[in-house]
Chains A and B, each alone.
Chain A
Amino acid sequence: MRSLLPLSDETGASEAFDVASAGLRSIFPATRDESLAFVTNFADELPPELSRQIPHWAERAIIRLEDIDVSHGIGFIHKALSWFDAEPLSALRPYLDALEMERRWISIWCCPNDCSLHCETIPLKWASKL
């Protein structure tokens, strides 16, 4: 997957790492887990500026059960570890609703493993058409 994505202008590394980096801010716990697993699996390939972030990313992936809320059958982090970059719940509601309606193609489009990777970044205008 890494080699299929173009290199990021900012970091010079595969854009896959940009996607994973964004995934580490996800409100979906499994997304954070998968993103961290990805960046640590390929830690040797990370440019120094991304490699320096590993401790920070690792702390982001530590979530307590009390921080998880469930809405429409989907668990998400209601106490974002970093409040300033968390997505507001209202912005997520359409995706949660869509998921509940079993419009599974969203998650398939997002990630072939159905791990909801990066679902929250789908533009709202797309979600409103669901």
Chain B
Amino acid sequence: MRFLAADQAVIRAEAARIWFRIPRNDDDVVIAKLMDDAVPSIAVALLKQLGRHWSSMSNLRRTALLDLLANQAKSPAIASVLFVRLVIIDRVEHFGENPPYELLTSLMPHVLQSLPASISFIDGRFANVVEEAIRSGCREELLPLLRLWSETIVKRLKSSQLSEFELAIVDLLVEALSVESRGPIIEQLLSVNDTGALMVFISWLIKYWDELADVERSAVLQKLLEPRGDQRWLRAVVLTSNAPPPTLLHALVGRDKLDLTTAEGRHLLSEQQFDAAFYTYIGWPQPLWWYATHHKGTKFWIKAVNDLASDPANPLFEVALAELMRNPGADLLAAIQTVPDAALNRVFDSLAAHSRSGKLYERDLVSSF
């Protein structure tokens, strides 16, 4: 107890670490003392001890220590140090072969509630650890975490642009939760106004289309039919997806498949809609790449890029050419060979501009003619 009253947190943390190394009972005084001693060293020491000795602890003990850490996590400083450690709970070198994901499911909701906005999910660790938890068998116990994640997304979207990793929640919702549990969360996500975020959510919902309930499918369709200024961007995600659900496609363009030529596609879609889908497919300009909704491998858009790259009359000519230059090969050569002589100077300008950015050596390409 004397060490737990030391001025230096490093000493108190070491005392706590030693204290909790041994299974104990009836130490309410110690737990009560640490409950309000919210300093990073102690929180980290307790988390490590919980991780190491989880399997040998009684449920009573686990609950007591989880409550202790949850209380400490009200401090943004503690929340941040716990967050960066909880997101690597799946790492063998930190938490062993069978990490106790209960730490993640129990603590992370408290952590997310007071997590400073400067802690980013951008490195993908957070989404990854939730995915690992699901792989290990966690399901409905992830509900508080996923609900808080959704709230965090909504809150952060008001002040910043989020990336693919920060928005990668939908697939985890579908995999972990029942329709009843995830329903309000998906509804909340679809109610945001951020175009990019909606594109990501709809993209994932389409991917898991077969596993969605009718009510969820209907919510996606309603969102796509909403008279919004960014409607073409939301629909672009459907038009460029690997396997657009026939129901959606039919509602949007009156067809079940996009088995069309490029010219037919341009005729079917409005110019604005075609261009939005084209840009979404190639992931340019930013933030379209940032959202990872690009290059879904649909035949129609692959062909459209090739066709437009050999059609100097189309305003998307240079953009399509640049897209082929990203991976110069037979398609680029074929497109250039089709370009009329009068437009070859534009091809040269594009090649020169692209090579200046260090992505292509036109000399290699020219030599292959």
Instruction: Report which A residues bind B (CB closer than 8 A).
Output: 29-30, 33, 36-37, 40, 43, 51-55, 57-59, 61-65, 67-68, 75, 115
Contact = CB atoms under 8 A, between A and B. Distances in A.
B339 to A, nearest CB: 50
B9 A54 contact: no
- Specify the main secondary structure of chain B where it touches its partner: helix
24 contacts: A29-B8, A30-B7, A30-B9, A33-B39, A36-B39, A36-B77, A37-B39, A40-B76, A40-B77, A43-B116, A51-B117, A52-B118, A54-B76, A55-B118, A55-B119, A58-B77, A58-B81, A59-B80, A59-B84, A61-B9, A62-B40, A64-B10, A65-B14, A68-B10
Contacts of B76: 40, 43, 54
A63 B116 contact: no
A33 B44 contact: no
Residue among A30, A51, A53, A54 with max Cβ neighbours from chain B (10 Å) = A54
Contacts of B117: 51-52
Interface of B: 7-11, 14, 39-41, 44, 75-78, 80-81, 84, 116-119
Given A51-B116, A61-B77, A63-B9, 20 more contacts: A29-B8, A33-B9, A36-B39, A37-B39, A40-B76, A53-B118, A54-B77, A54-B116, A58-B40, A58-B78, A58-B80, A59-B40, A59-B84, A61-B40, A62-B41, A62-B44, A62-B81, A63-B10, A68-B8, A115-B7
Contacts of B80: 54-55, 58-59
A33 B116 contact: no
Nearest to A67: B10
A115 B117 CA distance: 31
B122 to A, nearest CB: 13
Nearest to A36: B77
A59 B43 CA distance: 11
